[in-house]
Structure 1
Amino acid sequence: MNTLQAIILAIIEGITEFLPVSSTGHMIIASSFFGIAGDDFTKLFTIVIQLGTILSVVVLYFKRFFQSIDFYFKLFVAFIPAVFFGLLLNDFIDDLLESPIVVAISLIIGGFLLLKVDDWFGNAENTEISYLTALKIGLFQCLAMIPGVSRSGASIVGGMSQKLSRTTAAEFSFFLAIPTMLGATVKKLYDYSKLGVEITDHQLNLLIIGNIVGFIVALIAIKSFIGYLTKHGFKIFGYYRIIAGVAILIIHFFVQKLTII
């Protein structure tokens, strides 16, 4: 991975992490295009630079972090399913992280679902999150272990299915990203260390650059997304996912066909 590739991947991460379009899916497609998707450092990079996007949530919602202890217990409850299924399915998830086809199919299916989300749950106005609701949101979030599903999309839709307003569901999803991404980063760093490969100075610089770029871009993306979501809902993201998924399938099979010829 070179510096330009790291910057492009970080920009993609910053834009897509909190949108319901799957940051992991977009990173897989981009890294596949660069020819580095199967590299162990690339897999580490795509996880670790999420720390920058986490920091953007902390900065934007700094005052909200001084909430009741009850709120943090609810976040913990929502986080538990990710820990359980993440450890259980770790190897299976790693294999999926190299598959553009899985990403494309997930994008398309998720796109059609997002076209209907506003009709199904768009009128909900509840702003109170119970422990049971938090657990259900956490279970929805686990669907995003399939590349292309979207962590934010799954958790937001999960919240709306429990009668939460779009804004409340989205903001809880942002907060839930913090323990989830921290946990994923620690796990990935541990797995990488077991390979017996040291991070070089160049790779360390790439990780620093990636986190800085991801942080700046995510700040802009979060503020823009909340404003748009409140006014317009999910349909545009649904259409985008379907178009992107179909385009990926066409490109993949077209390139494969040319290779065979």
Structure 2
Amino acid sequence: MKKVLIPTDFSKNADHAVDYALNLYRCERTHFYFLHAYADQAYELGKSKSKSEMDSIGKALHDQTTAALEKTVERITDPLPNPRHHYEVVAVFDALVDAINDLVEHENIDLVIMGTQGATGSKNVSVGSNTVQVFKYVKCPVLAIPEGYVYHEPKNILFPTDYQLPFKRRELKLLDDMAGFFKSKIHCIYFTKFDTLSHRQSDNKLFLEKSLSRAYLSFGQEDDVNVLDGIAKYRANNEVDMIVIINSRNSFLENMLFRTTVDKMGLRTDIPLLVMQNVYR
């Protein structure tokens, strides 16, 4: 059984991500966890309050959050629930990223699915800051659904890769299962001006090919050094329903000095973006 975690702030776009998740796994036995972390709300309401007042605020928020999560479950199970799906609600006094990571570890979550804009999202970017933080620091694959994106099956998946990092078998299996079910084609594209692969790149490419055995795989190379420009050009000439990238988890100093691909993609995506974390679990 797949275990899918859906963080929600009860916004319209969060509900949209819930509906996408239910469609994506409509035929598969899946345990869905609906999570809301309310620590930020509690601290905002509890400014200059005593400890006892803060405790009362926390309890009230827990009750309100639990009731709202249960309404989310009621919405998706009315009039008839999917017999293949199980639902669980989790209201927790914690920061969002910490709450997600704790549940990922405790419940051995396979995938996090979330909307890209919350109730206070800016219209100037397509992915909110919370989503980018989840991309970068959660130890689990994360699938972000853009605001207003209309669900259709991920038949064509773009996977830009330079084959430099060793892939993790569990995360590739998640992608392989999805591609196998939808009979998807995965376009593995290397954006580079170099014609040959190193021994390490060749080994990683072979591992990728063996791990994605259920997908229709195609390997290509595009003469672009800038990955974002290369993705844009490729999409202009090819149908793409989902993009997959690897979070390389650069050092803290690198994250301070440079904007990573995750940051840059996070501000531009208008189709579902799957970020795989490249960590052992």
Fold agreement, TM-score > 0.5: no
Normalised by the shorter chain, which TM-score bucket? under 0.3
Structure in which a larger fraction of residues adopt helix: 1
Normalized against structure 2, the TM-score is what? 0.25
- Structure possessing the higher radius of gyration over alpha carbons: 2
Of structures 1 and 2, the one with the larger relative CO (CA 8 A, separation 6+) is 1
Structure in which a larger fraction of residues adopt strand: 2
